[in-house]
């Protein structure tokens, strides 16, 4: 096999069934890449030899046992938005191997989960569902029971972490008639900086950053609390988990958010459980500092059976499913394809993890 571009060796290690169609399309599109697929579950037994030639690894949570086994590895593409799962591995701690994430593919599905759970709360769906199970046409004066339901028009959505997921929640929030305000780690004080340069699922997101009416930033407590005090009705937590964002929200922050419980606020977490100080959240929910919550992520996961969160009437807990769906795999591969293209051309990749900031 003489001439042509240097041969790349791509190893794909994913749980679940082999994505045959996707793989054959990939092989067709990138004939100079030798592509090996191995199943990552239940417990992968990957021969050392499989690691030796690898130049590109596409994986979720399966990594080489040691760096020395994969001397040619140059890119690790994760199938997740977060990169926490690799951050204690020597690939992350002791090498310069480029690590990229699948940030950008999760927006639509997770945003739907956010909208759904917010509306389930505000429209009292659980009660309606109970009526349905009892074959009951509400109370006699059904109108009066739900008279206090309030729609989202004119209410404020605060997006803590205006990344790809946050932008999609913002987009839908705006369509619902809400005012949206955004928070980012560093200031987005120019039109350029407000843009989303990453992967965007067509027809979604906020590429230009025009949805928010105001922007806030800063990883220090003062900046965070300043944002939280902006009369937010609904807070979506969509920051990455880093050492700065661990326990980002605790009792002081919940108090700032709700002005000491005088304003009802609904908090959603679709990022990582430890971003919220969970015992503090529970206290805040019990004493009315926070009016309600929807959590797709908890600390730890699985959420222990005896956690008080399960039974709280104003809390929705789901088992880290908000991103799971039929489009996930396809979109992750599409993003990966963009990166393979760019790699081939020597261009900068999408979603490169910056080790100095942790995401």
Residue 263 to residue 123: CA distance in whole angstroms = 18
Pick 220 or 313: Cβ nearer another protein: 313
Write down the least CB distance from residue 17 to another protein, Å.
Answer: 10
CB 108 within 8 A of CB 87: no
| Residues assigned a catalytic role | 272, 301, 320
123-138 in b/e form (b: 16+ CB < 10 A) is eeeeeeeeeeeeeeee
| DSSP one-letter code for 140 | T
Pick 46 or 119: Cβ nearer another protein: 119
Write down the least CB distance from residue 321 to another protein, Å.
Answer: 4
Pick 161 or 170: Cβ nearer another protein: 170
Distance, C-alpha 259 to centroid of its chain? 27
Pick 33 or 232: Cβ nearer another protein: 232
| Neighbour-count burial of 220, counting CB atoms closer than 10 A to its CB (0-12 exposed, 13-18 middle, 19+ buried) | exposed
Residue 283 to residue 251: CA distance in whole angstroms = 8
Write down the least CB distance from residue 219 to another protein, Å.
Answer: 30
Structure tokens at 116: 């759904």
Write down the least CB distance from residue 187 to another protein, Å.
Answer: 27
Pick 207 or 321: Cβ nearer another protein: 321
Write down the least CB distance from residue 344 to another protein, Å.
Answer: 28
Q: Give the H/E segment covering residue 51.
A: helix 48-52
Task: Provide CB contacts within 8 A for 55, sequence distance 6+.
Answer: 8, 9, 10, 72, 73, 74, 75
């Amino acid at each position: 096999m003489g001439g042509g571009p240097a041969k790349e060796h791509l190893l794909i290690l994913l749980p679940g069934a082999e994505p045959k169609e996707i793989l054959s399309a990939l092989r067709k599109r990138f004939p100079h890449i030798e592509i090996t697929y191995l199943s990552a579950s239940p417990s992968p037994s990957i021969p050392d030899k499989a690691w030796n030639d690898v130049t590109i690894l596409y994986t979720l949570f399966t990594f080489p046992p040691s760096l020395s086994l994969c001397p040619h590895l140059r890119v690790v593409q994760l199938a997740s938005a977060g990169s926490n799962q690799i951050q204690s591995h020597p690939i992350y701690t002791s090498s310069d191997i480029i690590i990229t994430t699948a940030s950008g593919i999760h927006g639509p599905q997770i945003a739907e989960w956010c909208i759904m759970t917010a509306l389930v709360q505000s429209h009292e769906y659980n009660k309606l569902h109970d009526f349905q199970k009892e074959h009951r046409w509400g109370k006699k004066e059904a109108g009066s029971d739900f008279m206090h339901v309030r729609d989202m028009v004119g209410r404020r959505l605060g997006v803590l972490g205006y990344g790809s997921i946050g932008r999609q929640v913002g987009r839908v929030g705006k369509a619902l008639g809400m005012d949206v305000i955004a928070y980012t780690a560093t200031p987005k004080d120019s039109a350029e900086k407000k843009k989303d340069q990453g992967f965007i699922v067509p027809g979604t997101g906020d590429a230009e950053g025009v949805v928010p009416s105001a922007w806030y930033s800063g990883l220090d407590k003062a900046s965070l609390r300043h944002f939280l005090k902006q009369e937010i009705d609904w807070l979506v937590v969509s920051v990455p988990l880093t050492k700065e964002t661990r326990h980002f929200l605790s009792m002081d922050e919940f108090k700032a958010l709700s002005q000491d419980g005088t304003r009802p606020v609904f908090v959603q977490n679709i990022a990582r459980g430890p971003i919220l100080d969970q015992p503090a959240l529970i206290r805040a929910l019990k004493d009315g500092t926070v009016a309600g919550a929807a959590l797709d992520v908890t600390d730890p996961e699985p959420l222990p059976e005896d956690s008080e969160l399960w039974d709280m009437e104003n809390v929705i807990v789901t088992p880290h499913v908000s991103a799971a769906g039929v489009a996930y795999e396809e979109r992750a591969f599409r993003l990966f394809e963009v990166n393979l293209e760019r790699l081939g051309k020597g261009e900068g990749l999408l979603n490169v993890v910056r080790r100095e900031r942790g995401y």
